[in-house]
Chain A
Amino acid sequence: MKTLSKIYNGLIFLFLYAPIVVLIIFSFNDSRSRSVWHGFSLRWYEELFCDKEILNALIVTLTVAVIATVAATVIGTAAAVGMHGMNGRLRRAMMAVNNIPMVNPEIVTGIAMLLLFAFIYRSTGWFQLGYGTLLLSHITFCIPYVVLQVMPKLRQMNQHMYEAALDLGCRPVSAFFKVMLPEIMPGVVTGALMAFTMSLDDFVISLFTSGSSAQNLSVTIYSMVKRRITPEINALSTLMFGAVLILLILVNVSQIRGQSKAQKA
């Protein structure tokens, strides 16, 4: 039974990783072929770094992700703090609104925002699709992740600490920064990380809200895949996979360190 389950798990992991491994191997192939090996080369990486379209898209992706993460983290954390002080019914209503972008199919969220921007553009001439609308839509779908990560931390923290700080003469704002924020920090950080990765990886919503002037990586990849197939994409995937791998290992190592520290204390 044990070997059977090991074989089964192994097959699933093979299924999950085989395509990625093949993609990575063929990014070093010295030919356009995606199935015959012609020798090792880095030419697709060179071409990738000369491709202006991709580099522009990379800049758009990163700047949008950073700005959207900061904005969503601030708005989302504040929202969680505010909702925490609300009574049951109002809080449930706010949480329901928060969950709309999470349960709605992405394509519907994307189209709803596209139509909003189109509607405003038609009547006022503002909000033409571009970097601004892309950013607005990213902030919108990032906020719920932050709220959902911060809320449980607020519930877990000692409710009287904040009041004690107020009683001891702290202003609400500094009580928040000195007492509450350190308590909920793990939730804020996880929320921000989730928002960042969601923004980096988003395709569906970006496709509808970015227009043609400010495309992010996913949308650019989509047009590349549709237009022509090039091993540059393999090189790009390899680099992105490597970056994610390093990031995750770093996060995990620091988490495990934090846990063992907590266990010692």
Chain B
Amino acid sequence: MMKNRSAAAPFAVWMLLFTIVPLGVVVWFAFTDAAGHFTLDNIAAIQGHLGTLAYSIALGALATVICLFLAYPLAYSISRKTERVQQTMVMIIMLPMWMNFLLRTYAWMTLLENNGLINRFLGLFGIGPLGMINTNGAVVLGMVYNFLPFMVLPLYSVMTKIDSRIIEAAQDLGSNGWQIFRRVVLPLSMPGIVSGITMVFVPAVSTFVITKLLGGSKTQMIGDTIETMFIGQAANYNVGAALSLVLMVLILLCMAFMGMVDKDEEGGLVV
């Protein structure tokens, strides 16, 4: 066995300083006031943001479900292609992810505007203009667009390992399409579903740019609230820290729940 444990020392020190200690500092800020004295006021202040929190969870969950339903058939059909085609199609799915996240969202802004391309196109048929921008629908669309690859990739990487002969065997034994899906493909793709859901839900719930660009001033998610607590005139680090803490605990609970569904040790990181 190789023993070079000390090689991990710089990593251990670095992660302690810049990952663990900062989380401790978040807790410290959440439980103190501006002068540094212990207080529970920040935690109490969260009550005023419970509505925003619930709204964020609802939108995030909706976007996650839509991503799952859109991605599942796509991932399955990719996984049944030849290896060369699979590689190309995965590339095509991943390519937009390398374009700056803000620019992708900005692109939708220009499409959905009242005098944007979609409305102009509809106008040719005498429809519209439809008020698409600055709605909840636009925010969900933005999330689905940005996070869809995070759902496709884990699904695909699990499905590509499903042996086609298993499906053929099920067919030979007289299963119809639905039974094959329900009894064979779905159970075998479960780890991919679980990691896909976590990979979409976490960034969707905590997003704050998409709401700003596509949702207008009416919509605010918990991420927007947290941002205003740290940047701008109304900054309040202590309440912001308390809100971040709540968001983190919420997501850790979700992960723990998903971890119970999926026993695979590295399930969350299948890409």
Closest to B99 in A: A241
Q: A75 an interface residue at 8 Å Cβ cutoff?
A: yes
> Among A16, A204, A236, which residue has its beta carbon within 8 angstroms of that of B93?
A16
* Pick from A101, A162, A244: contact of B95, CB under 8 Å: A244
Residue pair A172, B4 in contact (C-beta under 8 Å):
yes
Interface set, chain A 193-234, CB cutoff 8 A to B: 197, 201, 203-204, 207-208, 217-218, 221-222, 225-226, 233
CB pair A35–B96 under 8 Å, yes or no, is no
Over the window 212-223 of chain B, the binary record of Cβ atoms lying under 8 Å from chain A Cβ atoms (1 yes, 0 no) is 110000000001
The reply to whether A112 and B22 form a contact with Cβ atoms under 8 Å apart is: yes
User: In the assembled complex, which residues on chain B have CB atoms less than 8 Å from the CB atom of A100?
Assistant: 15, 19-20, 23
**Chain B proximity of A150: nearest CB distance (Å):** 11
Chain A residues with CB below 8 A from B7, complex form:
78-79, 81-82
Hey, which chain A residues are within 8 Å of B213, CB to CB? Answer: 225
Interface centre among B92, B100, B213 (most CB of A within 10 A): B100
How far is it, in angstroms, between the C-alpha of A104 and the C-alpha of B254 when the chains are bound? 11
Determine if B104 and A5 form an interchain contact, defined as CB atoms under 8 angstroms apart: no
B248 touches A108 (CB 8 A): yes
A115 to B42, CA, bound (A): 15
Q: Is B9 an interface residue (CB 8 A)?
A: yes
Any chain A CB within 8 A of the CB of B244? yes
Contacting residues of chain A (7-26) with chain B, CB-CB under 8 angstroms = 8-9, 12-13, 15-20, 22-23, 26
| Residues of chain A at interface, number, CB under 8 A | 81
- Nearest neighbor of A148 in chain B, beta-carbon distance: B269
Q: Which of A78, A143, A172 contacts B15 (CB 8 A)?
A: A143
Closest Cβ–Cβ distance, residue B117 to chain A (whole Å): 5
The verdict on B21 contacting chain A, using a C-beta distance below 8 Å, is: yes
Minimum CB distance partner of B213 in chain A: A225
Please, which residues of chain A bring their CB within 8 A of the CB of B5? 82-83, 85-86
A208 in contact with B19 (CB, 8 Å):
no
Q: Kindly list chain A residues whose C-beta atoms are within 8 Å of the C-beta of B107.
A: 19-20, 22-23, 237
* A242–chain B nearest beta-carbon distance, Å: 10
Cα distance, A198 to B87, chains bound together (Å): 21
Interface size class of B (residues with CB under 8 A): 35 or more
Known A-B contacts A5-B73, A97-B19, A107-B208; A76 and B102 likewise in contact (beta carbons under 8 Å): no
Nearest-neighbour CB distance to chain A for B261, whole angstroms, equals 16
Interface centre among B70, B77, B203, B231 (most CB of A within 10 A): B77
Determine whether the beta carbon of B240 is less than 8 Å from that of A140.
no
Interface residues of B in 105-147 (CB under 8 A from A): 106-108, 110-111, 113, 115-117, 120, 145
Tell whether B26 is near chain A: CB-to-CB under 8 Å: yes
Known: A12-B74, A85-B1, A115-B29. A106 touches B206 (CB 8 A): yes
In the complex, A107 Cα to B28 Cα: how many Å?
18
Chain B nearest CB, measured from A17 CB (Å): 7
Q: What is A's interface to B at a CB cutoff of 8 Å?
A: 5, 8-9, 12-13, 15-20, 22-23, 26, 34-36, 75-76, 78-79, 81-86, 94, 97-108, 111-116, 118-119, 136-137, 139-140, 143, 147-148, 159, 162-163, 172, 176, 197, 201, 203-204, 207-208, 217-218, 221-222, 225-226, 233, 236-237, 240-241, 244-245, 248, 252
Besides the contacts A75-B14, A82-B4, A106-B203, what 14 more A-B pairs have beta carbons closer than 8 Å? Answer: A22-B117, A78-B11, A103-B202, A103-B255, A112-B22, A116-B25, A140-B19, A203-B209, A207-B231, A222-B102, A226-B212, A236-B103, A241-B98, A244-B98
